[in-house]
């Protein structure tokens, strides 16, 4: 299939566009534009983009349902993998840039910082989803694949809590993401209720 | 006189040579201005170095661990203005700091309201190089210009009933958006110290930093600096100092009593309920520099630990 795709296919453009936030960040690093505490700025920027890609991934199904546009479904896996990609960079900066792999400090920091627990939980889920992303894994896991991949809902809640739980005052950003994720999740709940009601209608009534 | 903890800050921690070359001479001018009372009011209009004519003297043997001034000036928590540590630099310029008077009252013999110039006329400014550790987990090393709080308190003669000191920040809603909209905290900002903390020789009132008058975002024209406590204790833009019989209810303590105690001593062994205090990011450190291990009382344990020898620091956080 790859040989048939033109050089600037929509697929390739989207793959490249998802790397723009990283490029932009690297330019800011190169030109020293991240302010007085650039490592903190790296944490925030990469964390923000992880959350954004998570929201985009979660938005694929609702947008598809509402607009009847099927083309998006091809990109859900890609957005999911980019969520994992930016999440990995976020974690990598914490371990490698901020703490320089001084494991004693890292262990103490994680132990005493409850906001990091939520972040790690979210990352653990994203990690499991990323390593089972292939068609091969999907086939082999059968029904449990879908079950596992539903844990993205848990990851999204944990990610927002991770954001909320470390702040002193300005809650407007995490509130925005919390609302967005609430809407995206409640869409699933609504669909679930609708399907349940539909199934009930389908059950033949016993004869009187 | 330079006050430094014994376990001194390693020399690898950053320099701002331009400022260094000016600082000592500038301080002399600062002191002269304070003594004569002249030149200060004009100095408070901006943050130009005082005594520019003296600044060309050759560079002296100066410590090389200070955080670059530009970082300190552009990374301030000033919640009267904004949540953002960098936006406060521009927003704080709306604050009116001239004229400025300070009310000193409460359990003292001589309650008084002083113009800042008159208050400074009786003080000798010195330089104090302190590490400043924020409760958020970052730190910087700042050369403050100021005087010991105890020297001011002596003049107003505290009564024996004075057990605590309460400080109040300016209330200027026309200049401070978050005061106008009643956002985030109860305004004006209030802080406090126990009497023995207030008269400790490390506790200072600062009017300058890096040999210049204090920038508005850094707490101009007069701020407290208590180097062994988390930064939020070091209240900015002070207009009132009251001596009290009982401990005051301080702003952050009132806002979140389980997270911010009255004492707020820097202590790596006592985590904030939501994050660790075991390490800190030093402003000015490069990428791939590990975080610095936070020290008990921010490195000033030798000088201040005796104040708390009978206290459970976990309980009185």
pLDDT, tens digit, 9 for 90 and up, residues A16-54: 999 999 999 999 999 999 999 999 999 999 999 999 999
Residue B312 scores a pLDDT above 60: yes
Of B274, B281, B289, the CB nearest to A166: B274
Residue B227: pLDDT band with limits 50, 70, 90: very high
Residue B80: pLDDT band with limits 50, 70, 90: very high
ipTM over 0.90: no
Chain B within 8 Å of A117 (Cβ-Cβ)? Answer: no
Compute the average pLDDT of residues A184-206. Answer: 84
Task: Name the packing angle between helices A152-164 and A114-131 (round to 10°).
Answer: 150
**pLDDT of res. A1:** 47
**pLDDT of res. A207:** 65
Of A36, A98, A112, the CB nearest to B276: A112
CA distances in angstroms from B316 to A53, A187, B259, B262, B313, listed in the order given: 43, 47, 11, 8, 5
Interface mutation target, options A101, A168, A170, A175, chain B, most CBs of B under 10 Å: A168
Residue B61 scores a pLDDT above 70: no
Surface-to-core class of residue B310, CB atoms within 10 Å of its CB (0-12 exposed, 13-18 middle, 19+ buried): exposed
Cβ within 8 Å, pair A100-B290:
yes
Residue B18: pLDDT band with limits 50, 70, 90: very low
**pLDDT of res. B4:** 53
Domains of chain B: residue spans and CATH = 67-308 (3.90.420.10)
* Residue A162 near residue A106 (C-beta atoms within 8 A): no
Cβ within 8 Å, pair B86-A168:
no
Q: Give percent above pLDDT 90 in chain B.
A: 79
Residue B73: pLDDT band with limits 50, 70, 90: very high
Residue B36 scores a pLDDT above 70: no
Say which range, A64-73, B200-209, B233-242, has the weakest mean pLDDT.
A64-73
Residue B291 scores a pLDDT above 90: yes
Q: How far apart are CA A160 and CA A51, in angstroms?
A: 8
> Is the C-alpha dihedral spanning B102, B106, B107, B113 positive or negative?
positive
Query: Which chain A positions have a beta carbon within 8 Å of B289's beta carbon?
Result: 100
- What's the pLDDT tens digit per position in A91-119? 999 999 999 999 999 999 999 999 999 99
Compute the average pLDDT of residues B268-296. Answer: 95
**pLDDT of res. A201:** 77
Chain B within 8 Å of A98 (Cβ-Cβ)? Answer: yes
Residue A6: pLDDT band with limits 50, 70, 90: low
Mean pLDDT estimate for chain B: 86
Provide the residue count of chain A: 208
What is the pairing mode between strands B279-282 and B126-133?
unpaired
* Residue A90 near residue A50 (C-beta atoms within 8 A): yes
Which of B207, B218, B171 is CA-nearest to residue B75?
A: B218
Of B72, B79, B278, the CB nearest to A109: B278
Angle at the Cα of A75 from the Cα atoms of A69 and A79, rounded to 5 degrees = 130
The pair of structure tokens assigned to A188 is 């699933």
Within the 48-67 window of chain A, which residues sit less than 8 Å (CB to CB) from chain B? Answer: none
The top-scoring range by mean pLDDT among A83-87, A171-175, A192-196, B24-28 is: A83-87
> Is the C-alpha dihedral spanning B226, B230, B236, B240 positive or negative?
negative
Compute the average pLDDT of residues A148-166. Answer: 95
* Residue B16 near residue B310 (C-beta atoms within 8 A): no
Of B75, B84, B288, the CB nearest to A97: B288
**pLDDT of res. B65:** 85
Q: How far apart are CA A113 and CA B207, in angstroms?
A: 36
Residue B234: pLDDT band with limits 50, 70, 90: very high
β strands within chain A, DSSP E: none
Q: How far apart are CA A37 and CA A23, in angstroms?
A: 20
Between B267 and A169, whose confidence is greater?
B267
* Residue B108 near residue B96 (C-beta atoms within 8 A): no
Residue B189: pLDDT band with limits 50, 70, 90: very high
The pair of structure tokens assigned to B101 is 């008077």
Mean pLDDT estimate for chain A: 92
Surface-to-core class of residue B102, CB atoms within 10 Å of its CB (0-12 exposed, 13-18 middle, 19+ buried): buried
Shortest distance, CA A198 to any CA of chain B (angstroms) = 45
Angle at the Cα of B143 from the Cα atoms of B138 and B148, rounded to 5 degrees = 105
Compute the average pLDDT of residues A56-61. Answer: 95
Residue B176: pLDDT band with limits 50, 70, 90: very high
Residue A169: pLDDT band with limits 50, 70, 90: confident
Which of A90, A68, A93 is CA-nearest to residue A159?
A: A90
Q: Collapsing DSSP states into helix, strand and coil, what is residue A51? A: helix
> Is the C-alpha dihedral spanning B283, B288, B289, B293 positive or negative?
positive
Residue B1 scores a pLDDT above 70: no
Task: Name the packing angle between helices A73-92 and A114-131 (round to 10°).
Answer: 140
Cβ within 8 Å, pair A112-B275:
yes
CA distances in angstroms from B115 to A78, A196, B64, B140, B212, listed in the order given: 65, 75, 36, 31, 20
Compute the average pLDDT of residues B197-206. Answer: 98
* Residue B146 near residue B198 (C-beta atoms within 8 A): no
Shortest distance, CA A138 to any CA of chain B (angstroms) = 38
**pLDDT of res. B55:** 33
Residue A203 scores a pLDDT above 80: no
Query: Which chain A positions have a beta carbon within 8 Å of B71's beta carbon?
Result: 36
């Amino acid at each position: 299939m790859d040989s048939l795709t033109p050089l600037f296919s929509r697929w390739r453009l989207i793959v490249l566009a998802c790397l723009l936030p990283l490029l932009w960040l690297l330019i800011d690093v190169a030109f020293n534009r991240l302010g007085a505490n650039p490592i903190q700025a790296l944490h925030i920027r990469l964390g923000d983009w992880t959350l954004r890609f998570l929201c985009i991934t979660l938005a694929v199904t609702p947008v598809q349902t509402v607009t009847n546009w099927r083309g998006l479904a091809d990109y859900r896996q890609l957005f999911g993998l980019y969520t994992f990609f930016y999440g990995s960079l976020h974690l990598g900066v914490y371990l490698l840039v901020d703490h320089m792999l001084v494991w004693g400090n890292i262990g103490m920091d994680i132990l005493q910082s409850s906001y990091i627990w939520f972040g790690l939980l979210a990352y653990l889920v994203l990690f499991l989803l990323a390593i089972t992303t292939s068609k091969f894994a999907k086939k082999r896991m059968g029904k449990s694949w879908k079950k596992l991949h539903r844990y993205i809902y848990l990851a999204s809640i944990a990610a927002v809590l991770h954001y909320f739980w470390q702040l002193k005052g300005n809650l407007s950003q995490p509130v925005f993401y919390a609302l967005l994720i609430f809407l995206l999740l409640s869409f699933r709940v609504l669909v679930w209720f609708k399907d349940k009601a539909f199934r009930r209608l389908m059950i033949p009534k016993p004869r009187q | 006189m330079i006050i430094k903890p014994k376990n001194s800050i390693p020399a690898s921690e950053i320099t701002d040579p331009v400022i260094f070359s000016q600082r000592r001479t500038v301080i002399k001018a600062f002191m002269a201005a304070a003594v004569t009372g002249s030149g200060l009011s004009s100095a408070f209009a901006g943050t130009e170095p005082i005594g520019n004519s003296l600044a060309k003297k050759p560079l002296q043997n100066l410590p090389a661990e200070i955080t670059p001034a530009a970082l300190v000036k552009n990374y301030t928590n000033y919640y009267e203005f904004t949540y953002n540590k960098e936006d406060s630099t521009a927003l704080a310029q709306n604050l009116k700091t001239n004229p400025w008077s300070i009310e000193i009252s409460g359990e003292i013999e001589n309650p008084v309201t002083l113009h800042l110039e008159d208050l400074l006329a009786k003080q000798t400014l010195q330089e104090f190089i302190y590490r400043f550790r924020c409760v958020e987990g970052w730190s910087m090393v700042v050369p403050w210009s100021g005087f010991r709080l105890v020297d001011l308190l002596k003049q107003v003669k505290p009564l024996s009933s004075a057990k605590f000191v309460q400080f109040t920040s300016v209330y200027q809603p026309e200049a401070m958006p978050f005061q106008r909209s009643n956002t985030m905290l109860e305004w004006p900002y209030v802080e406090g110290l126990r009497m023995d903390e207030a008269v400790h020789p490390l506790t200072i009132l600062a009017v300058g930093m890096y040999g210049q008058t204090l920038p508005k975002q850094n707490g101009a024209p007069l701020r407290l600096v208590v180097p062994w406590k988390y930064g939020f204790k070091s209240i900015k833009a002070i207009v009132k100092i009251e001596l009290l019989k009982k401990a005051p209810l301080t702003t952050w303590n009132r806002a979140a009593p389980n997270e911010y105690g009255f004492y707020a001593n820097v202590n790596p062994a006592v985590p904030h309920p939501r994050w660790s205090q075991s390490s800190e990011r030093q402003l000015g450190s490069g990428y791939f520099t590990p975080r610095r291990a936070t020290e008990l009382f921010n490195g000033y344990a030798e000088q201040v630990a005796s104040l708390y020898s009978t206290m459970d620091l976990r309980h009185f956080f």
